[in-house]
Structure 1
Amino acid sequence: MAPARELPGFYYDPEKNRYFPIKGPIPGSSSKPKNPTPNAPQTPSNQLKQSGRSCCRKLRNRTLSKLLQARELDGRHVIYSHYCKCNFAEEYGKIQASKPVVWRYRGTDKIGVCALEHLRVDVQTLQGQTETDVLLTGSINGSLSFSEVGGVGQYFDDGTKWMADCLRNYVKGKTFEHDEVHKPVFRPNRAALLMPSRISCIRLGPKCSPQAENDGSLAGRVLFTTLGSETSGGSVYTLGLLEPLNLGPGILNTWSGLEEIASFRCTLWTAEYDYNRHRAVIGTNLGGASVDLETRMETWFLRCKSDVFAQQIINSGNVILCGLRNGAIVTADFRERRESLSDRLITHRIPYNSDTKVGSSKKEWFKLKGDIYPSHTIRMPSSISSLVSLQFDEQYFVASSMDGSIRLYDHRLLQRGAVQCYEGHVNSHTRIQLGVDPAERFVMSGGEDCKLRLWSLKSGELLFEDKFSDSILSTMCYKTYSSTEPEAVAELLYAHVTEAHV
């Protein structure tokens, strides 16, 4: 069949053989014409347009008072200045993001955190139940532990307390007095459990996550996986958190909710929680599989010789993105196969890029087995490090690879390439996790140069870059706010138990 022609405002789906409208503006796109080529003459109009593109940045880089003054003089939320217009709320948010306050907890640099999640839960103390912030961390030595953030730890008999130091304050002239000291982190002695191998991934269940709501006994669980070792493979575990946490003498009641769901004879790199069907979806060195958390039935939906380093569920839980070691991002249907269908997975041949080398020779294609969409398979220059799907429109996702590339893609327009690129990231071989704030305004990542960087998701502009750690900030998560709290302008970021207000 002849290829479908492109229609403005529509994209063509080859599987469904029909056109679909492109809804909403593409993040980072612009209605302005592209920059002229280097050989193009610099006309006065082009010079005005180029200067106009940087005027908002110059206005923002001056002071917050100048931005407020411009808004008051204009009297609107959109500021017009020198051939450009700026959204006041966006520019104000960028100012805050570019001037964070960074806290470091003394003594936590030797913990070796490799997986991290934040929970807002009820904790049982001798004085009764109280709601507080809790960190669930997994370390490279296989330790899974709870740490309480705040003053609840004072009610426990023994444990380790880490105090916070203000490491950086990028707001000129502002200092933190004694009454503004950040809350300490407290870990009771019995609040840690040693697993067989490294904790490779932690994912919150529906009732533990602000992104989904669901009822049932399976909803209040935390999903986590172990990487595996030279003598044994990795395993999938769940930890029930329906009851209030007891981090004191009754800590054994908390650990009693731990269950091993499945074990594998392979390496478990990553995992996702399928909220719709209460399944664990794992990425291994043999491909991708799903495990029903109730029946514990295992189903392989992807078989390949390249490790699955990153995953992200999209399309309302019907398909999943799998980021491979060879740089490919594969779209696979991971729904359970009907009994009438054959158990054998379909074999696909995916072409390599012309400049992609495998070993000492060049290969034209690689094999995959599974229910995948070949036309929705793309490649990045190096191994995939992280994948993050956006919530406002799950067709958009951010991907990073180990050569330092960070790109924003539209799943409907994959063959056209990236929608936005984020420059300045430093990486060569490390699996570094991306962070996107709950309001989806910024992209954040650590780097192999031990720097933390923050970009505007929409424009790709680098807003913040600094080094305040001696190790790579490879793990991060944003604080989960309860539904009763107003949307906070400043979110909390944890990276190797290093906290930054942005």
Structure 2
Amino acid sequence: MPQELPGFYYDPEKNRYFPTKGPIPGCTRNSSAAAASSSNIQKPNLASEKLSIGRRKGITIAKLIHAREVYGKVLTFNKKKCNFQQEYEKIQASKPMVWKYQNTDRIADGALEQLHVNLQTLEGENEADVLVTGSMNGCLSLFEVGKVGQHFDYGVKCMPDRLWPHTTENQAECSKAQGGIWSHTGASALLDDISCIKRIGKHPSPVKHVLIATLGSETSGGAVYDLNLDPLDFNPGTSILRRISVVASLNCTIWTADCNSSGTQAVVGTNLGAALVNLETGVESWVCRSKSDVLSQQFDQSGNVILCGLRNGAIVTVDVRQRLQGSSVRLPKYRVPYPSCKTSQSSRKNIKNLTNKCFEIKGNIDPSCTIFMPSSISSLVYLQSYDQYFLASSMNGSIKLYDHRMIKRGAVQFYEGHVNSHSRIQLGVDPSENFVISGGENGNVSIWSIKSGQHLFSTKISNSVPSTVCCAELHRLPDGRQNSWGAWLGSREGLYLIHGA
């Protein structure tokens, strides 16, 4: 067993020590560390102090550009050095535009995903952006995004109305400038309640296959489907039902799912635990068994580790490599104490009480590295740029950033202002991984800076919960303009798009 060295952590895969780094660049430090280093910070000059005052009052892009021309890319705000590009993107994120699409109620409250696909047209194959939406009433729909009407002259167009910022301009002109989404009757199908939509394979573009998971009902369990999009055909007489095939059916509720980067394995989170599903054979093997439902999941970049967020507030890290070698391997059993019960001393009288305050779980996990949040886990998101970091949210409104290397030290960043009490609300991260976006039970959409934790934006867009979110890829927004980020959100009331001004 490797010894613990101050300032270093041991990586068993690489069999070596690495220096323990602090939070991701730009993260705020705790108050004690800040106080300890405050004496070493030089006083800013008068011009920098004026810029700091401007920042506190709400600096404009014009002032920011002026400061860059005078002082360079590294600026001083509130006695802290920051990057011009990062501050510019924060200003954009704090003043976004929000659009609601007409006639899109009850189509995207279960799941949604934007994909770049090959589209079959009368002129041949063309690349296009498609939005795949799923509702809690089982409706699966496909919409073409951007350049609507270029390839087809039939079907239904859903045009956007601008919700934010409020405008007195002609709404029709605003909708025309933004662009709509397009679909036809053959581009929808009816399944059971849709709980998850994920692309199969993380990197291929155009996307060829999509994973769809259904929740299940009182009479039947959930199922995993494969939607073939190679190529997608929107011509008359076609139906996406012909493109949907069942991969596996489980005798349990499927809350969530994710695919590994190679597109060979999927993991499903159920009311019985987590199971791996071979996407070619449909064979499933359990990697985690728990009486607490697995409500959120995600593979790490290697595909060897799965984060599982449970209903009881626990986040466990499951190593699936041994399970991939053979399904006959028995899962080890653990009794994990809740945070208030962690103690090394106990008398015989309170053993029974302690037992009742532990939960049992089976799987290849390290119980000492289990994290507990105050309530049921709502969403988990790994950061791709920093593969040891992940975001987690719980149903009491907490959103936190964790580092796997320092998991016992707790969260490295907190995000305040999220409103939740019992809903499964997804977190979205923009492609550049600067911002986290989420809806709330108050009907608001909010944006936070991942690095600083700053709550940049919040406004009410719906009377129902915007529970689903997917971030648009760079330069793939409906109006064709180049934006640094954009995100789709879905609620029972409709489909929304939010992007930088």
> Structure 1 length normalisation: TM-score?
0.85
* 1:317 maps to amino acid: G
* 1:246 maps to amino acid: D
Q: Is residue 23–residue 412 contact of structure 2 (8 Å, CA) maintained in 1?
A: no
**Whole-Å Cα distance in 1 between the matches of residues 340 and 383 of structure 2?**
31
Alignment-derived partner of residue 272 in structure 1: 258
SS in structure 1 opposite 2:277? strand
Within 5 Å, give how 1:242-321 maps onto structure 2.
242-243=230-231, 245-252=232-239, 254-276=240-262, 278-314=264-300, 316-321=302-307
Between 346-355 and 443-452, report the one with greater CA deviation: 346-355
Alignment-derived partner of residue 138 in structure 1: 134
State the structure with bigger RCO (CA 8 A, min sep 6), 1 or 2.
2
Alignment-derived partner of residue 395 in structure 2: 402
Q: Is residue 101–residue 170 contact of structure 1 (8 Å, CA) maintained in 2?
A: no
Distance 1:277 1:100, change over 3 A: closer
* 2:464 maps to amino acid: S
State yes or no: 1:232 paired with 2:228: no
SS in structure 2 opposite 1:473? coil
**Whole-Å Cα distance in 2 between the matches of residues 366 and 63 of structure 1?**
52
Distance 1:462 1:132, change over 3 A: same
Alignment-derived partner of residue 485 in structure 2: 491
**Whole-Å Cα distance in 2 between the matches of residues 68 and 269 of structure 1?**
47
Q: Is residue 28–residue 420 contact of structure 1 (8 Å, CA) maintained in 2?
A: no
Q: CA deviation at 1:400?
A: 0.3
SS in structure 2 opposite 1:323? strand
State yes or no: 1:500 paired with 2:472: no
Q: Is residue 162–residue 174 contact of structure 2 (8 Å, CA) maintained in 1?
A: no
Alignment-derived partner of residue 426 in structure 1: 419
Q: Percent identity?
A: 50
Q: CA deviation at 1:156?
A: 4.3
Distance 1:318 1:487, change over 3 A: farther
**Whole-Å Cα distance in 1 between the matches of residues 14 and 147 of structure 2?**
56
Alignment-derived partner of residue 65 in structure 2: 68
Alignment-derived partner of residue 222 in structure 1: 210
State yes or no: 1:445 paired with 2:432: no
Distance 1:492 1:199, change over 3 A: same
Distance 1:469 1:368, change over 3 A: same
**Whole-Å Cα distance in 1 between the matches of residues 167 and 26 of structure 2?**
28
Q: CA deviation at 1:298?
A: 1.2
Q: Which runs of 5+ in 2 are unaligned?
A: 343-352
Within 5 Å, give how 1:354-393 maps onto structure 2.
354=340, 363-393=356-386
Q: CA deviation at 1:280?
A: 1.3
Q: CA deviation at 1:365?
A: 1.4
**Whole-Å Cα distance in 1 between the matches of residues 21 and 467 of structure 2?**
34
Q: Is residue 289–residue 362 contact of structure 2 (8 Å, CA) maintained in 1?
A: yes
State yes or no: 1:337 paired with 2:335: no
**Whole-Å Cα distance in 2 between the matches of residues 466 and 351 of structure 1?**
39
**Whole-Å Cα distance in 2 between the matches of residues 309 and 56 of structure 1?**
44
**Whole-Å Cα distance in 2 between the matches of residues 347 and 340 of structure 1?**
18
Distance 1:67 1:287, change over 3 A: same
Q: Is residue 117–residue 208 contact of structure 2 (8 Å, CA) maintained in 1?
A: no
| The one of 200, 204, 207 aligned to 1:205 | 200
Q: Is residue 162–residue 171 contact of structure 2 (8 Å, CA) maintained in 1?
A: no
**Whole-Å Cα distance in 1 between the matches of residues 77 and 89 of structure 2?**
19
**Whole-Å Cα distance in 1 between the matches of residues 428 and 373 of structure 2?**
19
> Structure 2 length normalisation: TM-score?
0.85
Q: Is residue 160–residue 175 contact of structure 2 (8 Å, CA) maintained in 1?
A: no
SS in structure 2 opposite 1:414? helix
**Whole-Å Cα distance in 1 between the matches of residues 256 and 30 of structure 2?**
40
**Whole-Å Cα distance in 1 between the matches of residues 455 and 172 of structure 2?**
27
Q: Is residue 145–residue 191 contact of structure 1 (8 Å, CA) maintained in 2?
A: yes
State the superposition RMSD in angstroms: 3.6
* 2:389 maps to amino acid: Y
Distance 1:249 1:413, change over 3 A: same
Q: CA deviation at 1:198?
A: 0.4
